[in-house]
Amino acid sequence: MDFIYQNILLIALVLVSGVALILPMLMGSGGNDVNPAAATQLINREDAQVIDVRQAEEFAAGHLPEAKNVPLAKLADRINEIERFKDKPVIVCCASGMRSGKACGELRKLGFAKVHNLSGGIDAWVGAGYPVKKGTRNR
d(CA 71, CA 55): 5
Annotated catalytic residue, options 43, 64, 93, 94 = 94
Nearest to 115 by CA among 89, 97, 95, 94: 89
94 flagged as catalytic: yes
DSSP 28-84: --SSEEE-HHHHHHHHHHH-PEEEE-S-HHHHHH-B-TT-EE--GGGTTTTGGGTGG
d(CA 16, CA 120): 22
Catalytic positions: 94
